[in-house]
Structure 1
Amino acid sequence: MAEIVIRDSGERIRGEEQVRAFLDRQEVLYEHWDAAKLPAELQEKFTLSDDDKAQILSTFDSEIRDLAGRRGYRTWDIIALSDATPNLDELLKKFEQVHTHTEDEVRAITAGKGIFIIKGSEEVGYFNVELEAGDVISVPENKPHFFTLMDNRQIVAVRLFIETEGWIAHPFADPAFSKA
C-alpha cells in the first residue's frame, strides 16, 4: 500500500483512505488494484520476455480498460527496471530530473517498488509517494514531478498514455527542489 512522506516536515501518511484523501487534495489520482491476481511466477520477476509482458497486460486488462475509458488513455505498455536493465543508472538520471508532461503520467505497479516525488500545493511543497505492487497513480499534466526506484531497484509497471508517442518529459527548473 502506498505511503506518503512530506519532504519539508518528514510527516508520513499511511493507510489507503488517508493516502487517497491527501493525493486527492493534491489533484493526483490514486487507486489500488489486486496485485495478487498476477501469476506467482511474475510477482517477483523483473526481467521480462514479450510473453511475460503480454501476460501482465492480459491479467490486468479489465482494470486497464476501465481506467483508460474513464481518463481517455489510448495506449499502454509495460516497463520493467532492475539491476539487469542495461544502462539502468543512466536511465534513472533521465527520470530523476524534475519535469512535467503535456499529459498525465500514469503508472500501475505490478511488482517491486518505486517513488514519485511530486510538487504539491504551496503549503505542502514536495512529497514522496512510495508505491508497491497494486498501487496506481496518475500525476496530472503540467504538475512537476519525477520518478525513481527504491533501494531494491526493482519495478514492473503498466504505463498508460493519451499520446501514442509515449513518454515525453519537459524539464522544470525549480530552485525550491532539493534531492534530499
Structure 2
Amino acid sequence: MAVIKVRNTEEIIKGHDQVLSFLEKQGVLYEHWDMSKLQDGLKEKFILNDQEKEEILSTYKEEIEDLAGRRGYKTWDLIALSDATPNLDELLKKFEQVHVHTEDEVRAITAGHGIFIIKGDEQTGYFDVELEAGDVISVPEGNPHFFTLMEDRQVVAVRLFIETEGWVAHPYQETEEVGK
C-alpha cells in the first residue's frame, strides 16, 4: 500500500482510504491491483525475458484495458529496473529531474518499489508517494514530478501511454528548491 510523505510538513499519510483521498485532492489517480493474481515466480523477479513480461501483461490484461478505456491510453509496456539493468545510474539521473509531460505518467507496480516526487497544490508543496506492488498511479499531464527507485533499487511496472511521444520529459524550472 502506498505511503505519502508531505515534505513541507513532514506529515505521513498511510492507509488506502487516506492515500486515495489525499491524491484525489491533488488530482492524482490512485488504484490498487490484486497482486495475488500474479504467478509466485514473477512476484520478486526483476530480470525478465520477453515471455515473462508478456505473462505479467496478460495477467493484468483486464485491469490494463479497463484503465486504458477510462483514461484514453492506447498502448502499454512493462519496464524492469534493478542493479542488473545496464547503465542504471545514468538512467536514474534522467528520471530524477523535475519534469512534466504532455500526457499522464502512469505506473502500475507489479514488483519492487518506486517513489514519485510530485508537486502538489500551493499549500501542500512537494510530496513523496512511495509505491509497492499493486499500487497504480497516474500523475496528470503538466504536473511537475519525477520518479526514482527506493533503497532496494528494484521495480517492475506497467507503463500506459496515449502516445509514447507524449511521454517525453520536458524539464520544469522550479522557482524554489524542491521539497520546500
3-state SS in 2 of match to 1:103: coil
- Equivalent in the alignment of 2:74: 74
TM-score, L = length of structure 1: 0.97
Deviation at 1:179, TM superposition (A): 6.4
Deviation at 1:173, TM superposition (A): 1.2
Runs of 4+ in 1 over 4 A off after TM superposition: none
What amino acid is the match of 2:39? P
Where in structure 1 are there 5+ consecutive unaligned residues?
none
3-state SS in 2 of match to 1:165: helix
For the aligned residue pairs, the C-alpha RMSD in angstroms reads 1.2
3-state SS in 2 of match to 1:137: strand
- Equivalent in the alignment of 2:45: 45
Q: After alignment, is 68-77 or 32-41 more displaced?
A: 32-41
- Equivalent in the alignment of 1:174: 174
Q: Say whether the 8 Å CA contact 2:46–2:155 is kept in structure 1.
A: yes
Q: 1:58-115 CA distances to partner (integer Å, 9 max, x unpaired)? A: 0000000000000000000000000000000000000000000000000000000000
3-state SS in 2 of match to 1:30: strand
Alpha-carbon distance between aligned partners in 1 of 2:164 and 2:115, rounded to the nearest angstrom: 25
- Equivalent in the alignment of 2:101: 101
2:56 corresponds to 1:56: yes
- Equivalent in the alignment of 2:155: 155
Alpha-carbon distance between aligned partners in 2 of 1:153 and 1:175, rounded to the nearest angstrom: 30
Deviation at 1:9, TM superposition (A): 1.1
Shift in CA distance, 52/101, structure 1 to aligned 2, threshold 3 Å: same
- Equivalent in the alignment of 2:140: 140
Q: Number of aligned residue pairs: give it.
A: 180
What amino acid is the match of 1:145? H
Deviation at 1:166, TM superposition (A): 6.1
Shift in CA distance, 166/102, structure 1 to aligned 2, threshold 3 Å: closer
TM-score, L = length of structure 2: 0.97
Q: Say whether the 8 Å CA contact 2:125–2:179 is kept in structure 1.
A: no
